[in-house]
Structure 1
Amino acid sequence: MVQCAAYRYRATIRRPPAWLWWWWCWLGCVLWLWGGPSRVNAGGSAEPCTGLEAIDLSNATVITGDGVIEHEGIRYGPSQYFHDESGVRRGCVCRVRQCIYVCCTTAIDQCLVSELQVNISDPTGAGPHQTEDLMADDRYYLLYSLPPCHGGTVLSISGDEFLLHSGGQLAYGTSLFGYHHFCLLAPDENGQVDAGFCELIDINEAHRWYSVGILVSIPFLLVTFIVYALLPEMQNVPGKSLMCYVAALTTTYILLALMRWGVYDLLSTTCYTTGYIVYFTLLAGFFWLNVMSFDIYWTFGGSRGRTTERRKFLFYCLYAWGTPVLLLSLVLLFDHTELIGKDMRPQIGESRCYLKDDKLIEFLYMYLPMLILVGVNVFFFGVTAKRIYQMEQATATALSSESRRHAKYEKDRYRFSLYVRLFTIMGVTWTVEIISWLLGKPSVASSSWLVYALDVCNCLTGIAIFFLFVWKQKVKTLLLQRFTKRRATGRKGHQAYATSTISTTQSTEAKHDPNTTITLTDMTHAN
């Protein structure tokens, strides 16, 4: 019997890995976000005024024969009104009166105010200023809406930080904003009128760089989470803790990037919701860093209780997720009740989509918990480093003779070094953040170097976590084994099916071949 084997030549075409396609898609999205908002509202309008500034003058009264008309006590000359495409006569009220925007994101009847007491100076701003009610001053016309920031966002400032010129310009520091670039908030319970101003182009550029820096980190954080989720061998207590930390950090980064891009409207429901979520996830990230610091401290502490790994991780979850939930509950309670005065409330989502832009508020609700956790982490790492040094000095001989203990010790020691590097990276990032917070707002005329330092730190965070915890030989080997085993299992199943089919076919042919002689011995041993 001659067996013939047929060989087929298969040309192998190496396709690029799947992650490369995803990386290019992500890069394209980042570039689109970078260029997209800058083109919003780039085009002009042929009409002399639009929107709220174009008042319907259909019922206006003709005053003189030269085209002067009057509506609600305001007179318009021929050059101050026009007919739109539908033939409706509209007047440019801001050409007759000095317009002032009142910050409003809901229906106008819900934003109406009875008075608006503001510090006003002469047009140059050099003379003395006095408090005047804009509602009672015929020189001003109030528009209830957010100012047209042309793709930018509105930042809030306190009433004692700005001055309104009688010419309608808002003076803040060394910068002047025209009426198109600021709005006044409704008076608070103390009668103080705060304001919001549009970010200038250079400030927008700084925020875009900050957002792009965050977006660069996000793919590396997502890959880190996915890799640990795919490998059961990495899902011990330290691995699960890292997954929780990465999940909190990724959520924070995504929402912060959206906030920096001005996606949410001020005082909107999404603005409030995003502010509370960012507050929770930001604190949760720090609490999970604290958990990892404590876990390595406990590992080298010599304490060996009977708590199982599952029970220990449950306790960690209750602490790292539960404590931020309690802090968030307090923030919600303070914001929506009268337990404390308004000056001490977090006021998330009112002047911006996060905590009120006030140093005391930010310190009490955000930086104080962070500083406490960072201090505790420094203590844990310091004590752990001291214990490692003492163990190396006292038990070097014993460890060399006990290979199993030595292997576990080296593993824990390596994990400690990883945590120290991770803590250092996050520590540098938030140290720069705290320094920028202490120095105050960067100049609205030019971006601060701290913004670019934060951008670099945020770029490095996700990349550093990826290379510290994923780009390791152990993880690469586990991934290779997992996917190789899966392909091998598939090939074995296919081969087993093919072998079974061939055996069945051969036995069937033998059964029906009249020339085949099956001896009794063969029949006996067939089973």
Structure 2
Amino acid sequence: MFLADVLLVLGLLTTQRWFFIRSESKLPCDFLDSVDITDGVKTSDGKKEHEGIIYEPQNYGTLEYVYDSSGQKVQASNHVRGCVCRVKSCFYMCCSEKNILYNSSYPSCRNEPLEVRVNVSGELVDLATDPNLFKALRVPDCVATYADLSEWKMNRTGFVHSFGAVEIKQKEYCLHVHNEEEAADLFFCPEDSIGIAKISGIALSIPFLVATLLIYVCIPELRNIHGKSLICYILALTVTYIVLLFINFHSTMIPCSVLGYMLYFSVLESFFWLNVMCFDIFWTICSGVMIRNECKCFLYYMLYAFGSPIVILALALIFDFTELVPEDYRPRFGETNCFLRKNKWIEFG
């Protein structure tokens, strides 16, 4: 089983690279962090120049959809969008999803202020009129917390510095203007203390899972059908926890989307092995019949518990990297986080 997980990682790395070479349709950033650069000039080395900004090939993608006035994806002719916040300094404005207007190369926010003033070294500076900055929109994915002026400051590049116990991350803040003559308010997503406790719990669970695994592997009397099934279940659960740690510590050893596919597979595998163990207990108690050919029975269990996640993962890969299904029905691993896109949990979770 461990060998199978290793082969899965290698397969995902190879598959992702092959699909990346074949397709440019996946935007390497959030739609709200991109601008339409279709009319830009493409150089011989694959770079794209638009309005004086150079986009490397990894910073733009070709899309076949746009958002209509209601914020729904609709099919459209191919156009190129560049991840502007990867190549230019950005500052972020708060905007709710219902107030976003998709009516130009870059979305705007209803009642968007013309001036965005912040306190820079004791002076109110209008970021909106700075040609070196790009005003991007951000939809907070949490209950945003107001930051007091004593807890942060911003420099002329839109970078936020936080003070004291408050940590404001660059990807989790946005500005709100209530009066254009005064400094903008800053809101941010506070660090989740419960999340830290969960990560600690996961890290502490792994040694005990490994210890349980070693006990069942080393004692022959425990290696009956149920014991072997439990070994496979614990192994899948251990892989799940290890991948979760990689994701939460933002490791760059393995690409984010590959970690997402690994997590998806290992979670599915653990649930299928749990299903196998439940069925085995049910069958043993209800039938009262001793299984003579345990190897054949366990082979059937393996085909079910290991084969089913492979089929589901293969479908997710096909949906993600082909035009077989519309854009709205694709799982989009690694697009907004390392796992499923946030609005795809119901369909694929």
Which residue in 1 is equivalent to 2:208? 220
Which residue in 1 is equivalent to 2:8? none
Give the 3 Å change call, closer, same or farther, for CA 282–160 of structure 1 in structure 2. farther
Which residue in 1 is equivalent to 2:177? none
Output aligned runs, 1:236-385, within 5 Å. Answer: 236-264=224-252, 270-302=255-287, 304=289, 307-358=292-343, 361-366=344-349
Q: Distance in 1 between matches of 2:62 and 2:270?
A: 45
1:303 Cα deviation from its structure 2 partner = 5.8
Which residue in 2 is equivalent to 1:508? none
Q: Which of the two has higher C-alpha Rg? A: 1
Q: Distance in 2 between matches of 1:357 and 1:343?
A: 12
**Is this contact kept in 2: 1:275–1:348, CA < 8 A?**
yes
Output aligned runs, 1:117-132, within 5 Å. Answer: none
Which residue in 1 is equivalent to 2:56? 109
Q: Distance in 2 between matches of 1:145 and 1:252?
A: 35
**Is this contact kept in 1: 2:144–2:190, CA < 8 A?**
no
Q: Distance in 1 between matches of 2:264 and 2:333?
A: 9
Q: Distance in 2 between matches of 1:211 and 1:161?
A: 35
Output aligned runs, 1:164-183, within 5 Å. Answer: 165-166=112-113, 167=116, 168=135, 170=138, 172=140, 174=144, 179-180=158-159, 181-182=170-171
Q: Choose between structure 1 and 2: higher helix proportion.
A: 1
Q: Choose between structure 1 and 2: higher strand proportion.
A: 2
SS of equivalent residue, structure 1 residue 228: helix
Equivalent position amino acid for 1:248 in 2:
A
**Is this contact kept in 2: 1:102–1:146, CA < 8 A?**
no
Give the 3 Å change call, closer, same or farther, for CA 270–143 of structure 1 in structure 2. closer
Match of 1:144 among 73, 86, 111: 86
- Unpaired stretches in structure 2, ≥5 consecutive residues: 1-31, 36-45, 48-54, 69-82, 101-107, 117-134, 148-153, 160-169, 173-186
Give the 3 Å change call, closer, same or farther, for CA 206–258 of structure 1 in structure 2. farther
Give the 3 Å change call, closer, same or farther, for CA 329–244 of structure 1 in structure 2. same
**Is this contact kept in 1: 2:276–2:305, CA < 8 A?**
yes
**Is this contact kept in 2: 1:271–1:353, CA < 8 A?**
yes
1:118 Cα deviation from its structure 2 partner = 10
Give the 3 Å change call, closer, same or farther, for CA 146–248 of structure 1 in structure 2. farther
Give the 3 Å change call, closer, same or farther, for CA 211–144 of structure 1 in structure 2. same
TM-score, length-scaled by structure 1: 0.36
- Unpaired stretches in structure 1, ≥5 consecutive residues: 1-99, 120-140, 149-156, 184-197, 367-527
TM-score, length-scaled by structure 2: 0.52
Question: Is residue 207 from structure 1 mapped to residue 149 from structure 2 by the alignment?
Answer: no
Aligned length, in residue pairs:
215
1:330 Cα deviation from its structure 2 partner = 0.6
Q: Distance in 2 between matches of 1:240 and 1:158?
A: 51
Give the 3 Å change call, closer, same or farther, for CA 241–171 of structure 1 in structure 2. closer
SS of equivalent residue, structure 1 residue 346: coil
Which residue in 2 is equivalent to 1:97? none
**Is this contact kept in 2: 1:346–1:365, CA < 8 A?**
yes
SS of equivalent residue, structure 1 residue 310: helix
1:332 Cα deviation from its structure 2 partner = 0.6
1:273 Cα deviation from its structure 2 partner = 1.1
Q: Distance in 1 between matches of 2:223 and 2:242?
A: 25
**Is this contact kept in 1: 2:144–2:189, CA < 8 A?**
no
Question: Is residue 233 from structure 1 mapped to residue 221 from structure 2 by the alignment?
Answer: yes
Q: Distance in 2 between matches of 1:337 and 1:147?
A: 33
SS of equivalent residue, structure 1 residue 300: helix
Q: Distance in 1 between matches of 2:260 and 2:99?
A: 24
Equivalent position amino acid for 1:365 in 2:
F
Q: Percent identity?
A: 32
Which residue in 1 is equivalent to 2:11? none
Q: Distance in 2 between matches of 1:283 and 1:161?
A: 37
Equivalent position amino acid for 1:144 in 2:
R
**Is this contact kept in 2: 1:335–1:347, CA < 8 A?**
yes
Q: Distance in 2 between matches of 1:146 and 1:241?
A: 53
